[in-house]
Structure 1
Amino acid sequence: MPVNNLYILGIRGLPAQHGGFETFAQQLALYLTARGWQVHVYCQEPGPGATIYSTWRGVRRIHIAVRQGGALGTVVFDWKASLDATSRSGLFLTLGYNTAIFGLLQRLKGQTNLINMDGVEWRRDKWGALAKTWFWLNERAGCWIGNHLVADHPQIQEHLATRVSAAKISMIAYGGDEVLEADAGLLAAYGLEPGRFSVIIARPEPENSFLEMVRAFSAAPRNHRLLVLGDFQPERHPYHRQVMQAASAEVIFPGAIYDREVVQALRFYCRFYLHGHRVGGTNPSLVEALGAGCAVLAHDNRFNRWVAQDAAAYFKDGAECAALFTRLLDDDGAWQQMRAASRGRFVQRFTWPRILLEYEQLLNHWYPKHP
């Protein structure tokens, strides 16, 4: 019996090291491999050299060397991966539309390429005019070039439906792991105790409401700590400097933390998980907070509202966020109810088995049928 081949483009490679899309790709690749698929993942490698191949936990990796670094290196890698993909046979899944125009190569070859369109990247505050134009054009290109589109949130699905027919879009959310225990000893390195701190875990950018949340917490003495994770570089970024200057002595900036066990412990034992994202679809960090049973304080917008629903308490601005801290910080009953609601919402909608099955069904439907 022939084996189904899936090629995954759009990430830097496996094992996952660079964020939500790679974590999803790893979950999907291992799941499909166990289900009899042969999964191939394009991996970016620094420096010169020829394309080489390796196998990781049954997943075949195609390593493409790229001399350039940064954003340009990613673009070059995506171009080389798309070019290589034209010589392959099977089904293709592209994660993100940032270089979707390159998928024209596969379209011209008659290959079937599904594109997960991610969020509305060109609306993000962090990008300049040139980058926003590039993302806007590639969003349009992806909608046209992809054989079928995946949206990770109903609002993203509605947005894409202004570009293409709704029949061309499937909505499949992002998944996460349920965390039922964690090592409390990992908190000691940061001088923290279970339940005596709250946490922010995100990229320190204006659209993620860092300044509003830090000011809200720092508006009054809390007898509580706020741990703000992220790669802060105040000497280079005025916004980072502004956030750090707004912080009270009860706020801790430990930098970016990539140790998965430490991050899980911080979520599991925090009093509140603050989620200030204002744009995007189903945010992986918010899903992971629900999976850890966090009591969530979230920015009030259509994206976060669908993900957390009644599990979170919402704020529109810094004043409302400060009021939530004042009202809820010492309310154990409300805290326990919020934690239970988070777990309930997670189990209802965001477990990996559900998400991966939905993807497998979609991939089976679109797998090329040969006479």
Structure 2
Amino acid sequence: MSASANDWSGHTIAIVGTVGVPGRYGGFETLAENLVRKHGEMAGPGSLVVYCSARSYPERNPSFLGARLRYVNLPANGALSVLYDVVCIFSAIFRRHAVILLFGVSGAIALPFVRLFSRVQVVTNVDGIEWKREKWGFLARSLLRFSEFLAVRFSSEIVADNLGIAEHIQHTYGRSCRYIAYGGDHALLSEPQAYCRRALPLHYSLAVCRVEPENNVGMILEAFSLLPGSPLVFVGNWKGSAYGKSLYAEYARFEHIYMLDPVYDPPELRGLRDSAHSYIHGHSAGGTNPSLVEMMHFGIPVLAFDCSFNRYTTDDKAIYFSDEESLRNAIAALAGSNSAQLGRDMLELARARYTWDVVAHAYFELAQSVRSGAVL
């Protein structure tokens, strides 16, 4: 790393923009938790503080694996997420933390003031291109797009977890990004446990995602509905929206399609993944998707929706589909292909690029660089 440990005596890196740690929600929480773990293992620079939503942690432990936890009594998601992030940012400024790692652009409205009144360095992971997601209305989309602009304009350094995101930032704003992907090897840490709430076939294709149109859930279900000899286990929040409920009502009647509610227990999820012979990834938006890089560590073929984000993540070594017909053809072709080699390609790539050792080292090195002014 570019600066000695002594240079960080008394200095702190603040992690802002997540629900908190230990991770209980999603990708940024998993990222924050693994940065905390690796900071201790690697003797990373300075100390860490993680901002947490008090609404999600009633026990409010003061620390986690050596990182201090600071609680803000606001929800980290929903309409008040912007205020939550802004309050966390100003708290970090008030306490004179050296570097803020800001995950997401919700709180970017505060960054012009940070630049005016503080010397803290802000490294922002811009996440996916959030304002392009179909689920947002016009007002939310406009706010997210403006927040993205502010993040790019006023952050000390921008992180993109996918080269497709980096290209978007370069093309739209003329600014280069630091590419740091996402780890997935934590998915192998738990001992597998059999899923016991429903009998499942011995071998199947697996899909895991939020049930949203941009994840092409309907396309995947329709393709498999016409392939009775190809079992599909699909884990998703079917009861969470009218869209999910309608899909469940239409496709749960197919005996070879197993539509399971979300599985949060790591051993149980590991058991489902261990028994899959292929992974179906329908995401069309975002960046490096956590569920995809996690599955790549299981060494099975990946069938991914054909978009730049998924091609970058899998280094053009997966099988790609763009509609129901091409997905059915891909499933049929998989039976006659060298599926073992396809799986080995995914595993090799995952071990080289998507481990938390690689990710954490890159973040800590970047934090040291921005503090020393090396990248400004």
Common fold: TM-score over 0.5: yes
Q: Which residue, 220, 245, 250 being the options, matches 1:245?
A: 250
1:214 aligns with 2:218: no
Question: What's 1:158 paired with?
Answer: 167
User: 1 CA distance for matches of 2:51 and 2:84?
Assistant: 9
Q: Which amino acid aligns with 1:212?
A: M
Distance 1:327 1:188 in 2: 31
Q: Does residue 339 of structure 2 align to residue 367 of structure 1?
A: no
SS in 1 for 2:73: strand
> Which residue does 2:101 correspond to in 1?
93
Moved more, 83-92 or 205-214: 83-92
> Which residue type is aligned with residue 296 of structure 1?
V
Q: Are 2:143 and 1:134 equivalent residues in the alignment?
A: yes
Offset of 1:276 from its aligned partner?
0.3
Q: How does 1:1-371 map to 2 (within 5 A)?
A: 1=6, 2-34=9-41, 35-36=43-44, 37-46=46-55, 54-66=62-74, 71-89=78-96, 90-110=98-118, 111-167=120-176, 169-177=177-185, 185-194=193-202, 196-222=203-229, 224-233=230-239, 236-238=241-243, 240-242=245-247, 244-247=249-252, 248-328=254-334, 330-331=335-336, 334-367=338-371
Secondary structure of 1:166's counterpart equals coil
1:39 Cα deviation from its structure 2 partner: 0.2
Contact 1:86 1:105 in 2 (8 A): no
Over aligned residues, Cα RMSD in angstroms? 2.4
Rounded to whole Å, the distance in 2 between the matches of 1:181 and 1:56 is 19
Tell me: CA distance 1:297–1:139, structure 2 relative to 1, closer, same or farther (3 Å): same
Task: Report the Cα distance in structure 2 between the residues aligned to 1:185 and 1:141, rounded to whole angstroms.
Answer: 45
Letter in 2 for 1:228: F
CA distance in 1, matches of 2:298, 2:248: 27
Q: Runs of at least 4 residues of structure 1 off by over 6 A? A: none
Question: What percent identity do the matched residue pairs reach?
Answer: 29
- Residue 195 of structure 2: SS of its match in structure 1? helix
What's the CA shift for 1:345? Answer: 1.3
Q: 1: distance between equivalents of 2:189 and 2:105?
A: 36
Cα offset, 1:357, TM superposition: 1.3
C-alpha distance in structure 2 between counterparts of 1:184 and 1:25, whole Å: 24
Q: CA deviation at 1:46?
A: 2.1
Q: TM-score, normalised by structure 1?
A: 0.89
Q: How many residue pairs are counted as aligned between the two chains?
A: 359
Structure 2: distance between partners of 1:170 and 1:271: 34
* TM superposition shift of 1:188: 4.2
Task: Work out the CA distance in 1 between the residues paired with 2:166 and 2:256.
Answer: 41
CA shift, 1:187, in A, is 3.3
TM-score by length of 2: 0.88
